[in-house]
Amino acid sequence: MLKRVYRFKEGNAEMKNLLGGKGANLAEMTALGLPIPPGFTVTTEACQAYYAAGGKMPEGLMQEIHHALRGLEAAKSAEFGGVSRPLLVSVRSGSVTSMPGMMDTILNLGLNDDTVKGLAEQTGNERFAYDCYRRFIQMFGDVVLGIHSIYFERLIEMCRKENGRSCDQEISASEWKELIAKYKSIVEDRTGQPFPQDVHVQLKLAVEAVFRSWNNMRAKVYRKAYGIPDEQGTAVNIQAMVFGNLGTGSGTGVLFTRNPSTGERELYGEYLADAQGEDVVAGVRTPKAVSELFSELPLVYEQLSAAAGLLEIHYRDMQDIEFTVENGSLYLLQTRSGKRTAQASIKIAVDLTKEGILSKEEAVSRIEPGHLDQLLHRSLAIPAELAPIAKGLPASPGAAVGLIALDADTAERWAKDGRKVVLVSTETSPDDIHGILAAEGVLTSRGGMTSHAAVVARGMGKPCVCGCEALSIDHEDRSVRIGELTLAEGEGISLDASGGRVFRGGLSLSDPEITPELLTLLDYADEIRKLRIYANADTPHDAQKAREFGAEGIGLCRTEHMFFSGSRLPIVQSMILAGGREERMFYLDRLLPMQQADFEEMFGAMDGLPVTIRLLDPPLHEFLPNPDQLREQCRKLEETGENGEEARKLKAMISKVNELREVNPMLGLRGVRLGILFPEIYEMQIEAIFKAAQSALRRGVDVRPEIMIPLVGHPDELKRMRALVDDIGGQALSEEFRGLIYRVGTMIEVPRAALLADTIAQHADFFSFGTNDLTQMTFGYSRDDAEGKFLNSYLDGNILKANPFQVLDQDGVGQLIQWAVTRGKAVKSFLKTGICGEHGGDRESISFCHRTGLEYVSCSPYRIPFARIAAAQAALLDKGEKAQSPAEKQVV
Amino acid sequence: MLKRVYRFKEGNAEMKNLLGGKGANLAEMTALGLPIPPGFTVTTEACQAYYAAGGKMPEGLMQEIHHALRGLEAAKSAEFGGVSRPLLVSVRSGSVTSMPGMMDTILNLGLNDDTVKGLAEQTGNERFAYDCYRRFIQMFGDVVLGIHSIYFERLIEMCRKENGRSCDQEISASEWKELIAKYKSIVEDRTGQPFPQDVHVQLKLAVEAVFRSWNNMRAKVYRKAYGIPDEQGTAVNIQAMVFGNLGTGSGTGVLFTRNPSTGERELYGEYLADAQGEDVVAGVRTPKAVSELFSELPLVYEQLSAAAGLLEIHYRDMQDIEFTVENGSLYLLQTRSGKRTAQASIKIAVDLTKEGILSKEEAVSRIEPGHLDQLLHRSLAIPAELAPIAKGLPASPGAAVGLIALDADTAERWAKDGRKVVLVSTETSPDDIHGILAAEGVLTSRGGMTSHAAVVARGMGKPCVCGCEALSIDHEDRSVRIGELTLAEGEGISLDASGGRVFRGGLSLSDPEITPELLTLLDYADEIRKLRIYANADTPHDAQKAREFGAEGIGLCRTEHMFFSGSRLPIVQSMILAGGREERMFYLDRLLPMQQADFEEMFGAMDGLPVTIRLLDPPLHEFLPNPDQLREQCRKLEETGENGEEARKLKAMISKVNELREVNPMLGLRGVRLGILFPEIYEMQIEAIFKAAQSALRRGVDVRPEIMIPLVGHPDELKRMRALVDDIGGQALSEEFRGLIYRVGTMIEVPRAALLADTIAQHADFFSFGTNDLTQMTFGYSRDDAEGKFLNSYLDGNILKANPFQVLDQDGVGQLIQWAVTRGKAVKSFLKTGICGEHGGDRESISFCHRTGLEYVSCSPYRIPFARIAAAQAALLDKGEKAQSPAEKQVV
């Protein structure tokens, strides 16, 4: 005959299909030799047989269960239904896949009017015994007999009122006894039968109830939703009860095998003597540190310590263990991977690796890369009760605290005086760069994730909250209004830019910390990953920072950001306002040495590593001031009647701004289109790159320039620009440096470029997917408009699962990338491919890049450690070693 | 031995590889029995042998040539080198593929100091004979001996000066004789040899020169560029000269076999007696009509008439024939397909078909579809010397003449008074619709091919010139300035909108004409084509027009254009300004019956044919006035201090316009995004469609609504909107009409929609490719910006071969369409596909649609005849019957 009951000793973790998840794990822990209260499991096959028989207990099953019960009685020196030392058991369901909606637990089964007296005697605690009994009747009534708890709860409420008790703990033994009598009448009233006093009947009914719960409505719906087969059935676990409240040699507690907040290797947890689990939670008494058990119950402490070590090795992770001590005997009731802080998670992963428990691959796959954000940016210490005064877009992560400064000049002046400031502005423009540089962080009321403030702040690694629409600025009054609240310039303000939140006043900041363990973990990641990690960096300072964080090159150096800086902007503006090529060339000649100096410093900072320089991309009008401002300035000048020359210049600028104004600037005259129309601009930049390379080479720097042409949509655009590069390279480099190896490539950011990747690849050494623009054009979403106007509705309405500007859209944009990589490499096998959009710093997107066979991802310097881990996890995932987050691993 | 010389009688058109193109065609005409001056061809193989022998005349070749010459002498009763009746010949190269850069022609070969006298005697015209001789020396000197013409020209110039002659025609025979002596000295000076008097030597040198010209620099470059094999070689044609200037029984002329301007079947052409070809061109005497030959030289006329008939049948097209009559004998020198007007080309094609010469397929493939534009729009009669005063974009074809009206109200008022007006404006807005309706045409100084004026005018079939930047309007002065020129309102102006040209004053107009022949031709086309032709039509009037032109359905009815019309706009604006859903619903309820009435009329007009209705697409701010205008209005109101209510309303509108303002409206809140955010708008439109369908059904109309959701980029967008349609359909239709068959489909106009075509197809009955937007997003070009800012540079610089907004970009956008069709049909084989962008009216694009397997193209009503022809030509092209434009067919 088929064996339908397995004692915990007879099973193991592999027998999940037969014993259910819980039963198999209890068996596993028993097999490890750990002190688990004895018990047994009725198999899922028994449940299947129950249903096969039309909902009848299979013949002989109760005999088998009784046989196993004998074993429990022996182990516990107790008797099921016995009066002197009654054996009490818990009955729990246990399906193969954990499944809400099924019967959970009946405790204290085995109590009746007789055995309760024995329990009272044995524990010397009558109140406790009768409390156990009334709980049992209530649980049994609810889950086995189908009497709603509300009927029982009402009676307790009446009992408390009648006896003037404020809580259940105050109810006395005699009061519980009276209540139990009433409980039993309810059962009889509603079922037509008295509450079963026969403990074997109790057990049979409980087992049947577990079987039936497999097919209740909620369980069925759940199975359907998750595709769990209906015929699987559930197991039933029957386990001896243990009690931590049987005197001073008893107790209950929780133990972490390592410190969950620091990750230090030490036993950490709490213990409450003479108590049951629920007492710890109720907080009636203050628990002691687990370490005190060392002196109080040295044997138990030693056992616990050994069990902790064993479980860590067995489950290969820090464990969170529930235990009970019953008269000096330790019992483990549950173990699971423990929750921990970001810092602890890294220390634990690295320590476990050093201890030989984890491989480097496992250590890396255990890390939630998002945790690195917490570690690598400063964060605000926000009091629990403090609400933000406003919310905006988390445009650049981190936290900033400072005095409100309402314009760039003020911000700069105050910063020079040594005060910390936050620049608060409607929006920012190139004219405000000095203010952004001087500020701790930036807060704007308008503009999205790609607004000027957002892009510049991200590039600088400065915290920034954008598009905080509740905020309005009164420049007359020098104040900021948010609803009813008015803050004067100079008041303190705090930004939690990672969360897009704004707080009043100056909160305290905690600094980021790069621990030695993090460095070790990043080393592990570097051994595993295939993707190279480059940085988006526009300044030598950023490049330096990126290198410190482990960047293996610059994937995107935006030359226009060099144009924005204070002293150059007027020259750039004159260049744009120039009447013709000749005048334009005059100003370009003045810009050349500046760009050359920038590039030379970049090359120096990235000695031996590639530096990808993107030629000018934005439309020219971005370098000119806002026309409304200009008109205002002009009007004022005309009123005073002074400075006619200045007014004339302003007017020229207004007319140029109008001329350059575009209906859809995103789809207008920018990128390589500028290079085709005004080749002299690109010529200057290319010349500056080669001259810088030559100077750096002279100083002994290993220079690896990669020149990137933006917004190519037609192969001929790249062909012509490549010819320009080669041509100017030949002229600018002197004989001895002609051998310089440089690459010429393009951004793939227009859908057409992806579609024509094969022909474009003929002229390219590399493709860099500009996923920001590619996403905009593939979706037909202007990021600036979408994020304010409809993207939230799409996310809330669940049309989009994620913001495609944060998480790469693999269904659509991903197809284009895949297509372009495949076709590009078919033409040129050594074509180097990577991405340089903001997706370069997103985990899923990095995983996509790995799978698609790109060579690198490029992200902002502060995101590099994150990307190193994510790239390694992607490589592991690809090898089938699915990165499993610790929280998903739950045992018993 | 290999035969290396073929008499014309011995060859035919198939022998092109051996005889070259010219030789084979001369043989063909000879074989037809036509009077071709006798001659023979030296084969390409002889040329190959010349090169194989290292540039030496193959042995025996000259003997073969002499032998053939005997034949010519016999045929012409003349002697090569003979003094009494000298035989003169022409020598021409003739490669397999016509190839510029090779030696063209030597005429009059066979003249020397003796034979020239014979010629003088024979013709009785000494001056002519010596002119022929000096021409021969000059040509021979240039192309055979390599003496640059300039040396000879200089001598003529001196001769004219010395003798006081103003032109060559005045030079006398004796003067030519003196010149010939000088010519001969030049030849001797520069070659060290006297000019060859032996006519056989002349001939040998000429043949060698033709062989050598195969390998001159220009010919080599040309072969390389066009991939013509170097070893092919050229043939040499030697043909007896004929002279039309040998007296009254001689002459020369040009004959068209049908009237090239009307297409009428009649001999048409000019004839000049006693003259040579160049005399006709020189225009010294006025030629007679060919018909006069009927009385003057009846035999020749009869011969010509017979030859014309024969050549038409043989070449299956109207021919343009050059002929010479020498002493009463007719000779044909050349025939080729004649150029003709648009009207003639259609009449000729249809007549030839009716005469059994052409098949219907051939008739259709002969038509240049662009010619239909000339026929279907009115055109200006522009005096040759008249220059346009300005140029703009040809936004909507046709021509218009009227008085300048500077605003819509004026235009409407004047039109009501019965005056014809042209609306001239900086740009137009929905407020100007009544003015556009009233005007003959529209001229704007700003805006591109998709500006409001352009789109509305195209939809109405009204001529429109947009973006005429030279033009500025002075509203104070009520005048228009173009450079120095000022035109007052009320002055006459004429637009050639097909050419984007503006003329001062009122020119006369010719009306379009749909001739019976055109209708026949369109019938032919309908039998051939596979693509169905739908119309883009927004009004019942347009729908009616479309049906008259042969539309088989409406492929795009833009419901927003119904919103723009005068009385509705204020309601639409109130709807947009509404504070919430409820207020919005109030105004939508008022719009519903209006939309319903529109749809009902549309259904009526298209009884039995599908009507594809696109739900609201443009961003809402397009329905609100320009904010600058609003502010101006508001300022004025505030100054007067009156009408506070009105000012309040204006302010609300300004703030709404600002709220709705977008950075890149093309990529903003529009299309289905509106439907997702404000479902009540689409609900109203859907309800109006179903109610209209029901009313129409009641009246017995066969209603076939197809509801089209714009700008879908995610399958769920369509899924939801489809559910909305089905839902409202169920509610709006009463029981008896529930069986109405309707389709729900989507525009594919966002690249992502094409990429996800398979999942989108699950929810779609049809795909309509919105190629305008798809082109914008695939290229990353905003049409409004690109056409003004950089597209011309791209076209001029030859990066783009054609404007992708006019000619579908098959390389990029085409890939997306192909992909979407393939994937969509794989999921749903009966998925109906078509395009409704402006490309629906472009020939190459229609051909692409046919090849890609689309079911229909939709274009503006006036473009339908064009599309019918183009679709038929695409079908023919596909069958391998390459549509060859008549101009490409050139014979001899």
Q: Are B780 and A809 inside 8 Å of each other by CB?
A: no
Confidence of residue A313 (pLDDT cuts 50, 70, 90): very high
pLDDT of A270: 87
What's A86's DSSP letter?
B
Question: B779, A713: Cβ pair inside 8 Å?
Answer: yes
Judged against a pLDDT cut of 80, whether residue B455 lies above it is answered with no
Q: CA torsion, points A542, A548, A554, A559, in degrees to nearest 10?
A: 10
Higher pLDDT, A675 or B225: A675
**Contact at CB, A780 and B750, closer than 8 angstroms:** yes
pLDDT higher than threshold 80 for residue A560: yes
CA geometry: angle B634, B635, B639, nearest 5 deg: 115
pLDDT above 70 as % of chain B: 97
Q: Which of A713, A720, A780 sits opposite B667 (nearest CB)?
A: A780
- The CATH number for A259's domain is 3.30.470.20
In a domain, B501, yes or no: yes
Q: What does the pLDDT look like over B780-802, one tens digit per residue?
A: 999 888 887 898 889 888 899 88
Residue type, A592: L
The answer on A197 and A156 residing in a single domain is yes
Residues A639 and A706 in one domain: no
Which of the listed ranges A268-277, A663-672, A683-692, A875-884 does the model predict with the highest average pLDDT? A683-692
Using CA atoms, how far residue B438 sits from A865, B188, B433, B505, B678, in Å, is: 67, 78, 9, 19, 34
Alpha-carbon distance A571 to nearest alpha carbon in chain B (angstroms)? 23
Selected for mutation to probe chain A from B446, B664, B819 (highest A CB count within 10 Å) is B664
Query: Each residue of A266-301: b (16+ CB within 10 Å) or e?
Result: ebbbbbbbbbbbebbeeeeeebbebeebeeebeebb
Asked if the model's pLDDT at residue B756 lies above 80, the reply is yes
Q: pLDDT at residue A613 above 80?
A: yes
> pLDDT confidence of B887, banded at 50, 70, 90?
very low
Position A124 scores a pLDDT of: 85
In a mutational test of the B interface, the residue from A785, A801, A817 whose CB has the highest number of chain B CBs within 10 Å is A785
Pairing state between β A832-835 and A766-769 = parallel
**Within this chain, do residues A293 and A204 fall inside the same structural domain, yes or no?**
no
CA distances from B431 to B428, B566, B567, B629 (A): 8, 7, 10, 12
For residue A793, the chain B residue with the least C-alpha distance is: B677
Domain shared by A817 and A842, yes or no = yes
Per-residue pLDDT of A237-257, as tens digits, reads: 999 999 887 777 888 888 999
Instruction: Give the pLDDT band of residue A452 (cuts 50, 70, 90).
Output: confident
pLDDT one-digit tens code per residue, B490-519: 999 999 988 899 999 999 888 776 789 999
pLDDT above 70: residue B4 = yes
**What pLDDT score was predicted for residue A883?**
40
- Contacts of B293-296 with C-beta under 8 Å, sequence gap 24+, read B293/B253
For residue B48, is it within any domain?
yes
Look at B816 and A779 and tell me if their CB atoms are within 8 Å. no
Calpha distance B251→B327 (Å, rounded): 8
Q: C-alpha angle with apex B545: B539 to B549, nearest 5 degrees?
A: 140
- Partner-chain residue, chosen from B720, B750, B799, that has the shortest CB–CB distance to A779: B750
Catalytic residue numbers of A, as ranges: 452, 836
State how far the Cα of A307 lies from the Cα of A301, in Å rounded to an integer. Answer: 10
Q: Quick one: pLDDT band at residue B410, thresholds 50, 70, 90?
A: very high
Binding residue per annotation — B773?
A: yes
Q: Are B100 and B26 in contact (CB under 8 A)?
A: no
Task: Give just the sign of the alpha carbon dihedral A123, A124, A129, A131.
Answer: negative
Using a CB cutoff of 8 Å and minimum separation of 24, what contacts does A813-816 make? A813/A771, A813/A774, A813/A775, A813/A778, A813/A779, A813/B752, A814/A848, A814/A852, A815/B755, A816/A751, A816/A754, A816/A755, A816/A774, A816/A778, A816/B751, A816/B755
Tell me the mean pLDDT in the region A149-175.
87
pLDDT of res. B892: 37
Residues B673, B688 within the same domain: yes
Task: Provide mean pLDDT across the span B567-573.
Answer: 88
Instruction: Compute the distance between CA of residue B86 and CA of residue B76 in angstroms, rounded to an integer.
Output: 10
Model pLDDT, residue A527: 97
B168 and B269 together in one domain: no
Q: Annotation-wise, does B770 bind a ligand?
A: yes
Q: Domain for residue B327, yes or no?
A: yes
Q: Do B782 and A663 touch (CB under 8 A)?
A: yes
In a domain, A794, yes or no: no
Give the model's pLDDT for residue B629: 79
**What pLDDT is recorded for position B278?**
59
The whole-angstrom separation of Cα B399 and Cα B380 is 6
Average pLDDT, chain A: 89
B161 to B138, B155, B165, B175, B180: CA distances (angstroms): 20, 10, 6, 12, 16
The reported pLDDT for the residue numbered B891 is 36
Which range scores top for mean pLDDT: A416-425, A518-527, A630-639, B634-643?
A518-527
Rg of chain A over all Cα atoms, to the nearest angstrom: 36
User: Which residues share a beta bridge with A7?
Assistant: A40
Question: Can you tell me the distance from the alpha carbon of B41 to that of B13, in angstroms, rounded to the nearest whole number?
Answer: 13
Q: pLDDT confidence of A283, banded at 50, 70, 90?
A: low
From A812's Cα to the closest Cα of chain B, the distance in A is 5
Judge whether B522 lies within some domain. Answer: no
Min Cα distance B781 → chain A (Å) is: 5
Shared-domain flag, residues A574 and A684: yes
pLDDT value of residue A885: 39
CB of B673 closer than 8 Å to CB of B711: yes
Q: Which residues pair with B405 in a beta bridge?
A: B423
CB atoms within 10 A of CB A162: 10
Given an 8 Å threshold on Cβ–Cβ distance, is A778 in contact with B773?
A: no
User: What CATH number is given to the structural domain containing B382?
Assistant: 3.50.30.10
Q: Is residue B820 part of a domain?
A: yes
Question: pLDDT digits over A454-511, tens only?
Answer: 877 876 778 999 888 889 998 889 999 998 899 999 999 999 988 899 999 999 888 7
Look at residue A892 and tell me whether its pLDDT is greater than 50: no
By Cβ distance, the residue of B665, B714, B779 closest to A750 is B779
Q: Which of B533, B514, B535 is nearest to B525 (CA)?
A: B533
Say whether pLDDT at B817 is over 80: yes
Under the banding of pLDDT at 50, 70 and 90, the label for residue A546 is: very high
Cα B860 to Cα A417, A444, B845, distances in angstroms = 68, 47, 15
Q: What is the distance between the alpha carbons of residues B692 and B597, in angstroms, rounded to a whole number?
A: 7
Note whether A329 and A434 are same-domain residues. Answer: no
- Residue bearing tokens 């929810």: B763
Across A328-337, B466-475, B505-514, B526-535, least confident range: B505-514
pLDDT band at B101 (very low <50, low <70, confident <90, very high): low
Contact call for residues B272 and B255 (beta carbons, < 8 A): no
* Residue finishing a domain among A340, A370, A386: A340
Residues B461 and B605 in one domain: no
Average pLDDT over residues A661-682: 93
- pLDDT score, position B889: 38
- A724-733 burial string, b = 16+ CB within 10 Å, else e? bbeebbeebb
Write down which residue in B240, B265, B280 finishes a domain: B240
The residue-averaged pLDDT of A765-779 equals: 97
Band of the pLDDT at A891, cuts 50, 70, 90?
very low
For residue A646, give its domain range.
626-661
User: Residue A816 above 60 pLDDT?
Assistant: yes
A558 marked among binding-site residues: yes
Report in angstroms the alpha-carbon separations of B123 from A577, B112, B250, B345.
74, 16, 11, 42
| Confidence label for A265 from pLDDT (cuts 50, 70 and 90) | very high
Strands A464-466, A441-444: pairing is parallel
Judge whether B371 counts as a catalytic residue. Answer: no
The 10s digit of each residue's pLDDT in A91-125 is 999 888 877 667 778 889 999 999 999 999 988 88
Contacts B752 to A, Cβ<8 Å:
778-780, 809, 812-813
Strands A399-405 vs A492-496: parallel, antiparallel or unpaired: antiparallel
pLDDT tens-place string over residues A44-100: 999 999 999 999 999 999 999 999 999 999 998 999 999 999 999 999 998 888 776
- The candidate with the shortest Cα–Cα distance to B155, out of B174, B182, B135, B187, is B182
Choose one of A311, A340, A369: the last residue of a domain.
A340
What pLDDT sits at residue B282?
52
Q: Side chain identity at B482, as an amino acid letter? A: I
- pLDDT at B244 (0 to 100): 85
CA geometry: angle at B213 spanning B212 and B217, to 5°?
A: 110
Domain co-membership, A46 together with A178:
yes
Contact A665 B663 (CB under 8 A): yes
* pLDDT tier, A889 (very low <50, low <70, confident <90, very high otherwise): very low
Q: What are A21's two structure tokens?
A: 């998840």
* pLDDT score for A835: 96
Kind of pairing between the strands at B441-444 and A471-474: unpaired
A584 and A681 share one domain: yes
Which CATH number covers residue B545? 3.20.20.60
Q: Which of A273-282, B237-246, B324-333 has the lowest mean pLDDT?
A: A273-282
Query: Does B672 lie in the same domain as B638?
Result: no
Q: Which of A455, A664, A669, A799 to mutate to test the interface with B (most CBs of B within 10 A)?
A: A664
pLDDT at A861 over 90: no
In a domain, A356, yes or no: no
The SS3 assignment for A322 reads strand
Strand partners, A472: A481
Which residues of chain B does A676 touch, with a Cβ-Cβ cutoff of 8 Å?
790, 793-794, 797, 799
Planar angle of CA B693, B714, B576, nearest 5 degrees: 60
Residue B341, pLDDT score: 77
Judge contact between A389 and A485, C-beta under 8 A. Answer: yes
- Report how far Cα B809 is from the mean position of its chain's Cα atoms: 18
Residue B365 lies in a domain: no
User: Taking 70 as the threshold, does the pLDDT of residue A736 lie above it?
Assistant: yes
- Cβ-contact B234, B213 below 8 angstroms: yes
Contacts of A716 in chain B (CB under 8 A): 798-799
Mean pLDDT of chain B: 89
**The residue type at A616:** L
Q: Flag if A785 and B749 touch (Cβ within 8 Å).
A: no
Looking at the 3D structure of chain A, how many domains does it have?
5
